[in-house]
Amino acid sequence: MAVKIRLQRHGKKNFAFFHIVVADSRAPRDGRFIEQLGSYNPNTNPATIILDGEKALAWLNVGAQPTLTARRILSYEGVLLRKHLQGGVAKGALTEEQAAAKFAAWKAERDAKIAGKISGLKNEAIEKAKAAKAAEAKVNAARAEALAAKKAEAEAEAAKAAEEAAAEPVETPAENAEA
């Protein structure tokens, strides 16, 4: 029986998330599976991966073949590196301590890279918000200036009308009666 480590689609249209499962290669994509190893949500930034690395490593050691996407996820989580280091320990090229130290160094580097990406995304969002606020302030200042100019123009027209009214002789009701 050929066993595959693959993704099983869940979620709604255009908003999928996946379970990482071990299944018989003849079973349908979303059908029967042997064991669930974790989940993968590509909708978040960075993508959220929850994986039981020990179970995945055990299945790889007994011959389960990951699909291309599952292989990338396993590599991203360090499962394939651990399998590679275990092979080196079995051949005598490394000791258990050396393998553990190499894996810990790799994991620390990967975690730092992820933290850097997350902080970069936050900084980018903050910069976008500042730029939007500055643009809004610029638009508001232009609107206020236009309103002030319109108000000054209206006041000038009112003053001109008042001067014209003062310059014209005003007819009183008594003058209207004599005429």
pLDDT in tens, 16-42: 999 999 999 898 888 889 999 999 999
Q: What is the pLDDT of residue 179?
A: 55
pTM as predicted: 0.68
Q: What is the pLDDT of residue 69?
A: 94
Task: Look up residue 154 and give its two tokens.
Answer: 């209206």
Q: What is the pLDDT of residue 100?
A: 92
Task: Look up residue 147 and give its two tokens.
Answer: 């309103």
Does the domain at 3-93 match CATH 3.40.718.10? Answer given as no
Percentage of the chain modeled with pLDDT above 90? 63
Q: What is the pLDDT of residue 57?
A: 94
For the chain, the domains span 3-93, 95-161
For 25, the enclosing helix (H) or strand (E) is none
Residues of the chain under the 50 pLDDT cut: none
pLDDT in tens, 66-87: 999 999 999 999 999 999 998 9
Positive or negative: CA dihedral 99, 100, 106, 109 = negative
